[in-house]
Every structure is written in C-alpha cells, then in structure tokens.
Amino acid sequence: MMNSSSSCKYILTSGRDDMTSTFMQQEKLVSINPSTKQVLAEFPLMNKVEIEESIAAAAAAQKNWRKVPAPVRGELLLKIAQLLEDRAEEWGLLVTTEVGKCLRDGVAEIHRSISFLRFFAGEGYRMTGETIPSRQAGVFAYTKQQPLGTVGVITPWNVPLAIPIWKMAPALVAGNSIVWKPAPQSLMISQKFMSLLEEAGVPKNVVTMLIADGPLVSETFAADEQIKAVTFTGSTRTGQTIHQVLAPRGVRFQAEMGGKNPFIIMPDADIKQACLDIVSGGLLDAGQRCTATSRIFVHDSIYETFRDHMIATLNNVTLGLPTDESSIIGPVVDQRQYDTIRSYVEIAKSEGATLIYGEDEPEEEWAQGGFFIKPKLFDHVTQQMTIANEEIFGPVLALIQFSDFEDCLKQSNAIEYGLSSTIYTRDIATAMKYTDEIESGLVHINMPSTYSEPHMPFGGIKATGIGGFREQGSHAIKFFTEWKTVYVRT
C-alpha cells in the first residue's frame, strides 16, 4: 500500500533529550515525546523523485480501485474500524506518547476515528445520481458521481488520526487513491496507520505516504497533473501558501485552517456549566484545537461573578503527565509551540492585559522534562489586542467585558477567522439571533465550541476555509467526486 522505498522506514532510537527545538535535522525528521523531550524515532526524508514515484504508484492503483463497487469499498472501511476498535487502548497510548494528549483523550480520538469510518462506509451505498425527465421525447437523462482520481491529503499533528481518517475515508469510498503527507510531529502514528490499512486489505498503493519537506510536497503536487485535488488542514498562512502554489494549474483545493473562537456569556447563562464547557472546549489537548475557545465575552452584569467561578474551575484543572488518570491537561506538542505560546503571553502583558491565573509554571520534577504550560486566564482584554485576534493554539483564555449584545456580536465577528462559536443563554430569541448573525461555520448553543458529530458538515468561513467544500457528513463526498450528466436516445 505504501511505496516500498526505504526512505519511508522509520528508525527507532534510544531515548535522548537532545532534540527539543526542531523536527528536521539534515535529511531526516524525528519524533519526540513532548512529556520527556526524548527522541522516539527518526525518519529519512524522501526526495522529489521518490515523491513523484509515490504519486505515480497511487495513480496506477486508482485505475483498478475505481472499478471496485462503492459498497465494497465501504466494507473495507468497516474492517479498518474493527481493527482500530480491537486495539483502541494501544492506539490511544501511542497518540499520548507522540503528541501529548491525555490518555483518555487519546483513546477518545481513536473511538471518534472509528465513528468516521463507520459513517463513511455507509456512504458507499449513497453514491447516488438522479434521473431527470427530459423535455425531448425519446431521451433518457441521468447523472452520476465519479471519483476525481488521485488526491493529495495534508494533515496536522493535533488530531493525528481522526483528521486523516475523516479526509481519507470519503476519498476512498468515492473511488480515489491518496497521496498522504502527515505532519512531522506524528509520523509514528501515521506509519502505524499505513500498516493497519495494509492489514485491512486496502490494495497496494491505493494510499501512499510521504515523509518529506512540506514546500517540496506542495510544489510537486502543483506540478504533477496526476494530482486532481488537494485537501489540507493546518495554519492559515500555510494553507494560503499551498493554495497559491496550486492555483496556476487550477487544482481543486479544500482547506480548513485557523480559528479564534468566541464564547459569549449572557446574563441568564448557567455560569457553572459554562465554565466547565470552557475547560472542555478551550483547554483539553492543551488548547491545541482549531475549534478551541479562546475569547470569552462576558456581560458586565455578571462579569465579576463569572470571573470568580472561572478561576475556581481552573483551580480544579490538573496539569500533569498525560498518562496519569488525574491529568486534565498534558504538554504542548514541541519546543516551537511552547515558545510561541509563551511569546503570546508576554505580548498580552505588554499590551495591557492582566494575567489573573497561570503566572506560575509547574516546578515538579515531572514537568522539567517536557513542554508543560499551565493554563492562562487574562483579564482586561480588548478586541484590539493581539491576544484577541491571533490564533495562539495553546491553553490561553481571554476575558472581554461587554454591555450591549449588538456590540458583542460585532466584536465577535471582527476577526479574520470564522470556524466555531458558542453562546450561553436561556433566551431562545437571543440564541436564534446569534445563530443568524455570528460569522462562523459551527455554532453552539450552551455547548462547548469543540463539539461536532461525524454525520454533520464541518468547516469554517472567512479566512478559516478555502474552497467552499465542507468536511464530514455526506457533504464530504462532494469534494472527492465530479458529476457526469448522461443523455441516452431510447
């Protein structure tokens, strides 16, 4: 299934802590345990020729794969799901080890991945077209969906299995082959998934994996006419750069990128539950989610009460080793992410925000070996500050006080992103107005900003999304197919 090139093999190494600031050393990538800074594995980088060979192999495999009936392609997804379910704890521990998710969250990602596979398996029976009455006598007209061909898939490290699966599953059931470029921080997970696909019986080279420099992959995708589409999840800057590279050839492109997601607390809100949902939506996975809550707008009539409840809630949030059952938050993924978050904290202070929780960092021995950051809560934040506009991708929350709901909506929308949002209120009219006017692809009423379900469309607007296609749900198939209209003289 994966190219047999030796450059795709990883080399297990003894645990060393001398690799903490970069994933690339000369001609290799390394995987690092974020809890200990130990090197877990090394991966030789592929060159341009090897990337081109992977694309050619996937394109050749697609010619037979597209002939397999869609329901049968879906049955293979069910086999993959069962293999994952049988080893969920093992997979969850690998996610914890390589990217630092708390173990319960690592296992939860495995089960979420299984749900995507089972949903998209059913899409094999729903690859339908239409029969449409012709206005011409003796003509039978209908439409059908067909696969694009070979597609590029570029995925991030923060959801290292579920995101690849929710992209690959609809692509596969639609009859496409895949050239996959995973993030360097999660290559052990990615390599293991390739082995799982082979075990499940996915034909050789229907999915190939690239361990390569990102810009080189993008340039090769752009130049190779065998790549019919590219789907990407990652930062806005990277997504826009890839889009520009692909645009001259008119490659179909889908991108899900950054978020700066608001959470509005109205005077009638259930404050206790709102605080719990902010922890769930803003701090799990150390805040490293594109849908994570980051801006908390609180009505001034309950501002102090809410702030006190939020601090009390944070006092019960345990930062610790991700394998400990008591830990709610583990480390951030690497040194670069750690330094980025710390720099945003200092910028916020310099611009006048007040850090009211999280000034002290953990000093225990277990924390010294990893990239651990205590959750931060800022007060006296305005929408003009950097902390309220730029995606931090870390456990940093900003409180913004408001008195007028209309003004709050304007501030919530006054950013470049439009992924997710939440409002807490018991008033249905307020909730519906918010739903209509908030500029985000996902809207939550009295729920965490990270909540989603596999059968519902997922995606953002504004600078969060490119391409107009949604992921997840039945909408996901649309990106990976093209429509053919057929006229038959009877």
Can you list the domains of the chain with their CATH numbers?
A: 6-257+464-489 (3.40.605.10), 261-451 (3.40.309.10)
Question: Is the CB of residue 162 less than 8 Å from the CB of residue 189?
Answer: no
What's the pLDDT score for residue 26?
Answer: 55
What's the pLDDT score for residue 7?
Answer: 36
What's the pLDDT score for residue 21?
Answer: 34
Portion of the chain with pLDDT greater than 90, in percent: 94
The conformation of residue 159, written as its DSSP 8-state character, comes to: S
DSSP secondary structure, 206-227, as one string:
SEEE--S-HHHHHHHHHH-TTE
Question: Looking at the predicted structure, is the pLDDT value of residue 18 above 90?
Answer: no
Phi, psi dihedrals of residue 40, rounded to the nearest 5° = -95, -35
pLDDT digits (tens, 9 = 90+) for 199-257: 999 999 999 999 999 999 999 999 999 999 999 999 999 999 999 999 999 999 999 99
As given in the structure block, the two tokens for residue 103 are 């173990």
Burial 236-247 (b: 16+ CB within 10 A, else e): bebbeebbebbe
Beta bridge partners of residue 42, listed in sequence order:
11, 30
Q: Work out the average pLDDT over 402-408.
A: 97
Question: Is the CB of residue 378 less than 8 Å from the CB of residue 347?
Answer: no
pLDDT digits (tens, 9 = 90+) for 324-345: 999 999 999 999 999 999 999 9
Phi, psi dihedrals of residue 400, rounded to the nearest 5° = -130, 125
What's the pLDDT score for residue 13?
Answer: 33
Question: Looking at the predicted structure, is the pLDDT value of residue 486 above 50?
Answer: yes
Question: Is the CB of residue 8 less than 8 Å from the CB of residue 209?
Answer: yes
Q: What 3-state DSSP class applies to 26?
A: coil
pLDDT digits (tens, 9 = 90+) for 44-90: 999 999 999 999 999 999 999 999 999 999 999 999 999 999 999 99
Question: Is the CB of residue 95 less than 8 Å from the CB of residue 160?
Answer: yes
Alpha-carbon dihedral angle through residues 152, 77, 91, 325, given to the nearest 10 degrees: 110
pLDDT-derived band at 15, boundaries 50, 70, 90: very low
Active-site positions read 256
Question: Looking at the predicted structure, is the pLDDT value of residue 291 above 60?
Answer: yes
Closest CA to 190 of 163, 219, 172, 171: 163
Question: Is the CB of residue 112 less than 8 Å from the CB of residue 122?
Answer: no
Question: Looking at the predicted structure, is the pLDDT value of residue 5 above 90?
Answer: no
Question: Looking at the predicted structure, is the pLDDT value of residue 190 above 60?
Answer: yes
What integer best gives the mean pLDDT of the chain? 94
Alpha-carbon distance values, 319 to 134, 161, 284, 293 (Å): 65, 24, 10, 18
Beta bridge partners of residue 178, listed in sequence order:
151, 207
pTM exceeding 0.85:
yes
The strands making up 24-25's β-sheet, listed across from edge to edge, are 11-12, 38-44, 28-33, 24-25
The two beta strands, 207-209 and 139-147, are unpaired
Question: Looking at the predicted structure, is the pLDDT value of residue 159 above 80?
Answer: yes
323 Cα distance to chain centroid:
22
What's the pLDDT score for residue 27?
Answer: 82
The two beta strands, 28-33 and 396-402, are unpaired
Alpha-carbon distance values, 214 to 5, 194, 199, 219, 242 (Å): 19, 19, 28, 9, 9
Q: Is 389 left (phi over 0), alpha (psi -120 to 50) or beta?
A: alpha
